[in-house]
Structure 1
Amino acid sequence: MNVSGTGIGSGIAIGRVVRMPEPLPEPVDRPSALSPAAEKARAAEALAAVAAELRRRGEQAGGAAAEVLEAQAMFAEDPMLESDLDARVDAGKTAERAVHEAYAAYRAQLLALGGYMAERATDVDDVSQRVIAELLGQPAPGVPDPGHPFVLVARDLAPADTATLDLEQVLALVTIGGGPTSHTAILARDKAIVAIVAADGASVLRDGDEVIVDAENDLLVTDPTPEELEDAEARRAARAARLSAPLTPGALADGTPVPLLANLGSADAAVAALAAGAEGVGLFRTEFLFLDAATAPTVAEQQLEYGRLLQAFDGKKVVVRVLDAGADKPLAFLDDGHEDNPALGLRGIRALRAHEEILRDQLSALAAADAEANADLWVMAPMVATVEEAEYFSALAHELGIRVAGVMVEVPSAALLADRILRASDFASIGTNDLTQYTLAADRLLGTVAALQSPWNPAVLRLIAEVGAAGRASGKPVGICGEAAADPLLAVVLVGLGATTLSMSPAAIADVRASLLRFDSAQAAALAEAALSADGAAEAHAAARAYADGIR
């Protein structure tokens, strides 16, 4: 039996299954034998210990893990949760039971909100389990250690566990739940872990089952035949050879340059990105400066961080996205109240226009950092939907000293109006994660609709083609900064559709570079046409693969 899921990256692994242990049992609901003050002190001590441990793991892992685990640690310090927990203790609950109930109630609220917040429910569950384990004096839930390399199968995996996986032992990761942009998937991609998420059929696997985890083909092969094992081993060896090849600029077989850039969440990741062959930065997410702050950072504070990034990429292109936040990523200083459908609410450029002083400060800080560095700074606005929004951002950015100002194409309206939006902008960068979500009307963070989360869908590809055509007609660059660029075969299709640069997790650069070198410009265009002619995502992927196999 083979199991379908959503592959993360393009790796392949062979190994025997070890299942993640089941969570701790629900604490018994019984009256406390201690005073409320004593129970509150126990809870506070456990919460502080868990927050400190999560931060320690984040610092140890670095990169995207540090940001993810910092956000998770904040769940252990949330004042609203603490207030709810205290009220339950005052009602006679034990600290263990109060933690369980308070976090369960918070989890239900996140699920009701949907979108980004719903996907954080797994993070809340993990914090709850860790705090309860701390209170009981038991080991925190975690990855098993069978004493040999294994394929880890879990219902879902907490960020704290994904961030610190022993890659000498964990050959691959398979989750039954989760989605392609969950924290688990983000960290798996960042650490170059072979992974498949949203693999519902994996629930039948047992410890010791031999499997092939084929992320490139979104497939988990169970009880593989000798022939399947031999083929997987050959593919694994071929990929290892590609990854060890010398670092060269991204290009097609005919020499057409396709710069390969990195998606980064902080300046701390610059050294590793350059070592992986990144030719610059195609997406620098600035949210890390804002997410744990009660007030927006000052111009000076921001300038310092942007300056670190620009110095690290001296002489190279650096594309910075201004703050992408709003109702689905709430910040205290951007909160305009509850929205029933935050994915369609006041977010991205809309939220920044409603609080223009934050945008002005950010642009001013970027311009000041640029004046002291030798990098090639480009700045773009998120979630642009209209020509007027593009005109607004470009005018303001240029007024405040930004030389190159562009937009992200993440909603269908921006793709359909790309010719006019590019008249008002210096460049466009396509965020394929959100573009896929809005085109297919399927929340990109929910595993229940993961099957629709494929940028291979011809509707998404057609919109990308619109932007590519507008870029060619106007002579302006069109980049890809969504996760689609990390798919080696799809990367070629995207270039065939008109993309001039590709930006991705640094771990994906070597695979993408090798894939581009197999095709010339005409073949990339033919691959794109084959995918566009299909009726669905799976058919588009199959058509492109068949064409590629035919010219090997």
Structure 2
Amino acid sequence: MEVRTLQGIGVSAGSAYATAVVVAPPVTAPADEPAPADADAELVRVKAAFEQVAAELDARAARADKTAAQILTATALIARDKGLHKAAGKHLAAGSGPATSVHRAVEEYAAQFEALGDYFAERVTDLRDVGSRTIAAVLGVPAPGVPTLTAPSVVIALDLAPADTAVLDRDLVAGIVTQEGGRNSHTAILAAQMGIPAVVHCADALSIEAGTSVSIDGDSGAVVVNPSAESVAALADRDSKRATLLSATSGPGKTSDGHAVGLLANIGGVDDAVAAGAQDLEGVGLFRTEFVFLSAKTAPTLEEQTDIYTRVFQPFGTDRRIVVRTLDAGADKPLAFADLGAEENPALGRRGLRLSQARPELLETQLKALAAAASATGADVRVMAPMVATVEEAKWFADQVAAAGLPKSGVMIEVPAAALGARHVLAPVDFGSLGTNDLAQYTMAADRMQGALSDLLDPWQPAVLNVIKAACAGAAELGKPIGVCGESGGDPLMALVLTGLGVSSLSMAPSKVPAVRFALSRHSLEACQRLAESAVSAATAAAAREAVLSAADPELQALLT
């Protein structure tokens, strides 16, 4: 048997070895589908097929955890989109068959989503999955997706739609490999939350045949087909040593010489909060409140929001901080009740705080609800705004937070202008938080949802690290704390660099906290500063990571190689 090694992007740590199971491909429309005899009647049937898919997604949402349920519910809304139905009807009237009409309508929408970029581009996989499932319903054939698993398996797919990822059996899915997708895809986010080793953007992944033995390394991104017994044993030995080493550290994050670095969780809802609250971490560094809004047809009321926020805050008691990001929506994350109109470039449009300034009643209600929930629970709540670029915006937001009676305000540093001007932008607020995903996107002029641009969006890009360095310098000049809540905060090596640059807290998927805690405990602050300097001085992303890895503590090297 030929041994082959494929390379992708590791997005969920750990290794796996099992038999490959290949996800059923999308169902496509017949090439020779005849024109409908009665276009109106066929439209009724197509709409019923869309609704069947939506109902199936709702049923899956009812069985999934909170974060997955929110994603599935949002995907069901795509299936119920009247504009999509209308587009299918247009093609039916023009003589296309029902399955072909669904396909053409979906592809029209997909092209629009890809052109809009960011959140919309992220939803193209979801949109096409809805289309494929609807075509299957129209044709009366089985829907695409993960086959029934009877033994531990490595799931191989072009990409995984939320409908598939959200209901994976953690006891039987040993690992995930996708040929497409990026660091911020739904597959990456949900796999990390579920603790399933995963590799995305792995070229030729679909060349792996079902039934083949596969090993994957969710750290390095290596996928080995027909691996040797020795290499499988080496991965298992590394995982065993990792578990032993990581179990030896606990408590607050700190370097070997006692420099404190807060270790916090990224959460998106009540279930996430309950799970994170039970773990050994210091609170929440990013509560993404947009999940409260995105699946709603009307603006959530003060009472509805207060109830949700209260349940999110309760698991953390009164002594662990909760950093809340206010509504991060806008043209790229559309809300039916806050439509500001079409924009040519939504990623650079009225999103985040810019939407809040255009629709201040949304922010006012949200801040009142957060204040009420904080009062009811006694929680240490700190509120920050997304997409802040200027000191005027920071000052406006700080005033709104103070007027609501909340004690601490902050801003997200995800726009290069805010990073370079941090000594001014942070002046009116109490803290800053680096959103490294968007910061990389805007620094490198590369859509962070485009898997093909993953190299540009590598968090080790020296240009991005230098922008972070500038933001940390501005915060230090003011004596203001600055954290990281982007995905790079969960990388043990990158955590050392960020600490060396002056970051005071790191927020990540809770499953990543033990490895970051261990990495910090093996290095002094001075060592972190040296590693940071070597990274920002490197010529390439690969050279930056290699410089840090080669100089890191040997035990950490053993965990990561």
TM-score (normalizing by structure 1): 0.94
The amino acid that maps onto 2:274 is V
- After superposition, what is the alpha-carbon deviation per residue over 1:404-423, rounded to whole angstroms, capped at 9, x for unaligned? 00100001111111112222
- After superposition, what is the alpha-carbon deviation per residue over 1:112-156, rounded to whole angstroms, capped at 9, x for unaligned? 323321221111111111122223332211113464322222111
Instruction: Give 2:251's match in structure 1, choosing from 248, 251, 256.
Output: 248
1:205 alignment partner in structure 2: 208
- After superposition, what is the alpha-carbon deviation per residue over 1:371-430, rounded to whole angstroms, capped at 9, x for unaligned? 222111100010111111111111221122121001000011111111122222100000
2:474 alignment partner in structure 1: 470
CA–CA distance in structure 2, aligned partners of residues 93 and 218 of structure 1? 43
Is 1:11–1:236's contact at 8 Å kept on the other side of the alignment? Answer: yes
1:79 alignment partner in structure 2: 82
Relative distance call for 1:59 and 1:244 in structure 2 (3 A) is farther
Q: How does 1:89-488 map to 2 (within 5 A)?
A: 89-91=92-94, 93-145=96-148, 147-242=150-245, 247-315=250-318, 316-488=320-492
CA–CA distance in structure 1, aligned partners of residues 395 and 163 of structure 2? 42
The amino acid that maps onto 2:538 is A
State the Cα distance separating 1:221 from its structure 2 match.
Answer: 3.5
Other structure's SS at 2:498 match: helix
Relative distance call for 1:106 and 1:234 in structure 2 (3 A) is same
CA–CA distance in structure 2, aligned partners of residues 365 and 42 of structure 1? 43
Relative distance call for 1:192 and 1:536 in structure 2 (3 A) is same
The amino acid that maps onto 1:534 is A
The amino acid that maps onto 2:433 is S
CA–CA distance in structure 1, aligned partners of residues 52 and 247 of structure 2? 41
Is 2:155–2:177's contact at 8 Å kept on the other side of the alignment? Answer: yes
CA–CA distance in structure 2, aligned partners of residues 254 and 139 of structure 1? 59
- After superposition, what is the alpha-carbon deviation per residue over 1:343-398, rounded to whole angstroms, capped at 9, x for unaligned? 11111111211112222222222222222221111000101111111111112211
CA–CA distance in structure 2, aligned partners of residues 278 and 59 of structure 1? 29
Other structure's SS at 1:377 match: strand
Is 2:274–2:315's contact at 8 Å kept on the other side of the alignment? Answer: yes
Instruction: Give 1:513's match in structure 2, choosing from 511, 517, 524.
Output: 517
Relative distance call for 1:243 and 1:92 in structure 2 (3 A) is farther
The amino acid that maps onto 2:403 is E
- After superposition, what is the alpha-carbon deviation per residue over 1:180-214, rounded to whole angstroms, capped at 9, x for unaligned? 11222221222122111111243433334444322
CA–CA distance in structure 1, aligned partners of residues 445 and 335 of structure 2? 25
CA–CA distance in structure 2, aligned partners of residues 280 and 551 of structure 1? 27
1:538 alignment partner in structure 2: 542
Relative distance call for 1:451 and 1:399 in structure 2 (3 A) is same
Q: Which runs of no fewer than 5 residues in structure 1 stay unpaired? A: none
Is 1:276–1:510's contact at 8 Å kept on the other side of the alignment? Answer: no
Report how many residues are paired.
551
The amino acid that maps onto 2:269 is S
Q: Percent identity?
A: 47
Other structure's SS at 2:29 match: coil
1:13 alignment partner in structure 2: 16
- After superposition, what is the alpha-carbon deviation per residue over 1:460-481, rounded to whole angstroms, capped at 9, x for unaligned? 1122222223333322211110
CA–CA distance in structure 2, aligned partners of residues 237 and 522 of structure 1? 30
Is 2:278–2:315's contact at 8 Å kept on the other side of the alignment? Answer: no
The amino acid that maps onto 1:420 is H
CA–CA distance in structure 1, aligned partners of residues 42 and 490 of structure 2? 49
Task: Identify which range, 363-372 or 206-215, moves more after superposition.
Answer: 206-215
The amino acid that maps onto 1:49 is Q
Relative distance call for 1:516 and 1:9 in structure 2 (3 A) is farther
Other structure's SS at 2:377 match: coil
- After superposition, what is the alpha-carbon deviation per residue over 1:216-264, rounded to whole angstroms, capped at 9, x for unaligned? 1233234545543332121121233356557523222233332211111
Other structure's SS at 1:262 match: strand
CA–CA distance in structure 1, aligned partners of residues 95 and 331 of structure 2? 36
CA–CA distance in structure 2, aligned partners of residues 551 and 245 of structure 1? 13
- After superposition, what is the alpha-carbon deviation per residue over 1:80-124, rounded to whole angstroms, capped at 9, x for unaligned? 112223344455555433322322222222223233212211111
Is 1:100–1:128's contact at 8 Å kept on the other side of the alignment? Answer: yes
The amino acid that maps onto 1:155 is L
Relative distance call for 1:532 and 1:125 in structure 2 (3 A) is same
Is 1:276–1:509's contact at 8 Å kept on the other side of the alignment? Answer: no
The amino acid that maps onto 1:76 is A
Task: Identify which range, 142-151 or 424-433, moves more after superposition.
Answer: 142-151
- After superposition, what is the alpha-carbon deviation per residue over 1:33-69, rounded to whole angstroms, capped at 9, x for unaligned? 5x44543443333222211221222232213211111
Task: Identify which range, 343-352 or 374-383, moves more after superposition.
Answer: 343-352
Is 1:423–1:474's contact at 8 Å kept on the other side of the alignment? Answer: yes
The amino acid that maps onto 1:418 is A
CA–CA distance in structure 2, aligned partners of residues 242 and 306 of structure 1? 36
Is 2:268–2:287's contact at 8 Å kept on the other side of the alignment? Answer: yes
Give yes or no for the alignment of 1:489 onto 2:496: no
CA–CA distance in structure 2, aligned partners of residues 300 and 148 of structure 1? 46
CA–CA distance in structure 2, aligned partners of residues 224 and 530 of structure 1? 35
Is 1:262–1:281's contact at 8 Å kept on the other side of the alignment? Answer: yes
CA–CA distance in structure 2, aligned partners of residues 465 and 221 of structure 1? 37
Is 1:5–1:197's contact at 8 Å kept on the other side of the alignment? Answer: yes
CA–CA distance in structure 2, aligned partners of residues 262 and 484 of structure 1? 13
Other structure's SS at 1:217 match: coil
Structure 1 stretches of 4+ moved >6 Å: none
State the Cα distance separating 1:436 from its structure 2 match.
Answer: 0.8
CA–CA distance in structure 2, aligned partners of residues 350 and 81 of structure 1? 29
Is 1:242–1:510's contact at 8 Å kept on the other side of the alignment? Answer: no
Instruction: Give 1:524's match in structure 2, choosing from 520, 525, 528.
Output: 528
Task: Identify which range, 140-149 or 509-518, moves more after superposition.
Answer: 140-149
Is 1:471–1:478's contact at 8 Å kept on the other side of the alignment? Answer: yes
State the Cα distance separating 1:313 from its structure 2 match.
Answer: 1.9
The amino acid that maps onto 2:145 is G
Is 1:9–1:486's contact at 8 Å kept on the other side of the alignment? Answer: no
CA–CA distance in structure 2, aligned partners of residues 371 and 275 of structure 1? 22
CA–CA distance in structure 1, aligned partners of residues 254 and 55 of structure 2? 45
The amino acid that maps onto 2:11 is I
2:559 alignment partner in structure 1: none
The amino acid that maps onto 2:392 is E
Q: Which runs of no fewer than 5 residues in structure 2 stay unpaired? A: 557-561
Is 1:64–1:190's contact at 8 Å kept on the other side of the alignment? Answer: no
Is 1:492–1:516's contact at 8 Å kept on the other side of the alignment? Answer: yes
CA–CA distance in structure 2, aligned partners of residues 229 and 94 of structure 1? 50
